[in-house]
Amino acid sequence: MSDLRLIVPLLVLLSAGPASAHTAHDAGWTADPIVLLAMAAAGSAYTLGLLRLWRRAGPGRGLHGLRVTLFALGYLLAGGLLLSPLDAWAERLLSAHMIQHFGLMLVAAPLMVLGRPGLAFLWAVPASRRAALGRLAGGAAGRAWRAATHPLGAWMIYLVALWIWHMPALHQWALRSDAVHAAQHASFLGAALLLWTAVLERPRAEGRAGAFFAVFATAVHSCALAALLTTARTLWYPAYAAGAGGWGLTPLQDQQLGGLIMWVPCCAILLGAAVAVFAGLLRDAELRAERFPP
């Protein structure tokens, strides 16, 4: 019952979050219909699945209140990053863009993964259709999902999404087109959800070794991109040149600040996650040594 008392306010926020963002439009919030629709669909599916699961198994069973809280925090953070005034600032400042996208990829995404959305979404599917969903999971779609959430596959998808969208031509195209900008948001968040699923949902031993590779290798290439951006002597994205001046920054200073945001706190999160996974590997080795002494 304590889990239920904890979760009810969070479920209300999951359902009302997009609507409240819409009413705050006059205060500088945006009301992007694509973002609102995606948030409404995700929040409704998670809530419906959770309620069905708890009705069958009991409150707190299957999905503990802590996991639901983590998902709610990640969901609400994602909504804030995409609908708050930060989204408008990200169109004028590269540094704001870095805060927005790496907040999505390195904070909101792992929080949502820890909330086990796959289980909630499965219970959101009507019971009469779960058998068909199981058959689908056993076919090509299931194999594609397993490949995308394998550490190597998830690492490659994240790498491609990160580097391609930071190419000057594509990034400036996203600034000019709402549809392309929405695709950029979706690919960043989707790639991050796959990566953190591979890292946080890996089984012990061999699976954890793959998770360590995925997160450490991601830290390496992310830091490399950040270093290139920070130390560049020319502007990568001239489209930001006009906006930086309104904030007391030269365009190059804005670019350097964006690179530092990507380099220091973002790489610290990835390296911290790598250290945590490696510590798990060491614990596994100690347990094996205790069970099977030489």
pLDDT digit string, tens, across residues 189-228: 999 999 999 999 866 556 788 899 999 999 999 999 999 9
Band the pLDDT of 17: cuts 50, 70, 90. Answer: very low
Lowest mean pLDDT among 104-118, 155-169, 239-253: 239-253
For the chain, what percent of residues have pLDDT higher than 70?
Answer: 87
Take residue 269 and report the two structure tokens written for it: 């999160």
| Opening angle at CA 105, ends 76 and 257, nearest 5 | 105
Question: Which whole-number Å values give the CA distances from 192 to 97, 105, 267, in the listed order?
Answer: 16, 5, 14
**Residue 134 confidence (pLDDT):** 72
Tens digit of pLDDT for each residue in 92-139? 899 999 999 999 999 999 999 999 999 999 889 888 777 777 777 777
Mean pLDDT (the chain, rounded): 85
Question: Which whole-number Å values give the CA distances from 127 to 17, 53, 57, 282, in the listed order?
Answer: 28, 11, 15, 41
Report the alpha-carbon distance of residue 95 to residue 254 in Å, rounded: 6
Take residue 74 and report the two structure tokens written for it: 């990640």
Report the alpha-carbon distance of residue 118 to residue 79 in Å, rounded: 19
Where along the chain do its domains lie? 2-291
Report the alpha-carbon distance of residue 137 to residue 178 in Å, rounded: 33
For the chain, what percent of residues have pLDDT higher than 90?
Answer: 54
Cβ count near 172 (within 10 Å)? 16
How much of the chain is helix, strand and coil, in % rounded to 5?
85, 0, 15
Looking at the predicted structure, is the pLDDT value of residue 11 above 90?
no
94-130: burial string, b at 16+ Cβ within 10 Å, e else: bbbbbbbbbbbbbbbbbbbbbbbbebbebbbeeeeee
| Opening angle at CA 95, ends 114 and 37, nearest 5 | 50
Looking at the predicted structure, is the pLDDT value of residue 178 above 90?
no
pTM of the model: 0.85
Report the alpha-carbon distance of residue 126 to residue 106 in Å, rounded: 32
**Residue 223 confidence (pLDDT):** 94
Report the alpha-carbon distance of residue 255 to residue 276 in Å, rounded: 31
Take residue 202 and report the two structure tokens written for it: 């890996």
The better pLDDT of the pair 32, 45 is held by 45
**Residue 25 confidence (pLDDT):** 35
Tens digit of pLDDT for each residue in 66-94? 999 999 999 999 999 999 999 888 888 99
Using alpha carbons only, how large is the chain's radius of gyration in Å? 21
Q: For the residues 17-23, what does the mean pLDDT come to?
A: 41
Report the alpha-carbon distance of residue 292 to residue 248 in Å, rounded: 64
Q: For the residues 250-272, what does the mean pLDDT come to?
A: 92
First to last CA, the chain: 48
**CA 255 remoteness from chain centre:** 23
Take residue 2 and report the two structure tokens written for it: 């304590």
| Opening angle at CA 246, ends 243 and 247, nearest 5 | 100
**Residue 243 confidence (pLDDT):** 75
- 3-class secondary-structure state, position 133: helix
> Which DSSP letter does residue 121 get?
H
Cβ count near 134 (within 10 Å)? 11
**Residue 153 confidence (pLDDT):** 95
